[in-house]
Amino acid sequence: MLFRVWILFLLLLVNTSLADHYKGGTLSWKPTNPYSLTSPVEITITERHSWTLTRYQCNNNIINTLGTYNDTQNATTATIICISSA
């Protein structure tokens, strides 16, 4: 019985947290050198998102000055490219 109540709660929570401006996204990865036999293997991660939000102008300079991403070992600057759908 408690399990059913928990599932119902989760379904209601999902229904109330809709984000209509978010269109979707993808996350993919590939080895930097596919022929490398070393361990650990260096990989390149590509993350893409799409949303509609007209409050902020889509500007590459503004987006790319958001700062660095810290992966707990190295601080890397993400490259973000703004593509206008208009």
Q: What is the pLDDT of residues 5-60, one digit of tens each?
A: 888 777 776 655 556 667 778 889 898 888 888 888 888 888 887 766 555 566 66
- Indicate the pTM of the whole model: 0.40
Residue range of the domain that includes 38: 22-64
23 closest CA partner among 50, 48, 60: 50
Domain count, the chain: 1
In a domain, 60, yes or no: yes
In a domain, 59, yes or no: yes
In a domain, 2, yes or no: no
pLDDT digits (tens, 9 = 90+) for 52-85: 655 556 666 666 666 555 555 555 555 566 666 5
